[in-house]
Copies of this chain bind each other. A is one copy, B any other.
């Protein structure tokens, strides 16, 4: 009686993409499993970030912010507090506090734009770069290990797939975010 009675086949299709609906054909199984794996991967990646951050006395948001700062600067266009807030979905007040924390800890530094002195550019500091390295290196090693098991043509397929999934997810993110800002329209009008 410890074992639950409900079988998978009886469960409702909660997900809309077959995660819990019947999976008869091989293809349907594949689709469902890939979707589930992507979800697991994302959740686990998130928890890795959380755990790593705490291990170094930071919150999960702080690590994300540090990475965003580095991404932006290494891409050649340092990020501003405003854009960082957009990326992380934080209010302006939270962003200031976040930057204060990271700056106090020596991970990043502020720099006012000389042209438009309202703007602040965020740059990573030595300590921040070191932390990011410690975070990414083991991940990179693992990634390389996995990818070693695939041929160039196979990675090409994976890349095409991931590019499409990423684009779709980003679109969806913007949709959901837009839904958060719009509803403030009154009924009737």
Contact = CB atoms under 8 A, between A and B. Distances in A.
Interface of A: 1-8, 11-12, 14-20, 26-27, 30-31, 33-35, 37-48, 50-52, 54-55, 64, 70, 73-78, 88-89, 114-115, 129, 132-133, 136-147, 149-150, 152, 154-166, 168-173, 175-177, 179-180
Nearest to A140: B17
A147 B140 CA distance: 27
Given A4-B78, A14-B136, A150-B157, 7 more contacts: A6-B73, A8-B75, A43-B64, A44-B173, A138-B175, A139-B172, A142-B168
B6 A76 contact: yes
Contact of A51 (B41, B89, B115, B168): B89
A143 B4 contact: no
Contacts of A156: 30
Contacts of A164: 146, 149
Nearest to A183: B55
A133 B55 contact: no
Nearest to A26: B152
A70 B89 CA distance: 26
Contacts of A166: 37, 40-41, 44
Contacts of A44: 166, 169-170, 172-173
Contact of A55 (B48, B77, B179): B179
The interface centre, meaning the residue of A8, A149, A158 with most chain B CB atoms within 10 A of its CB, is A158
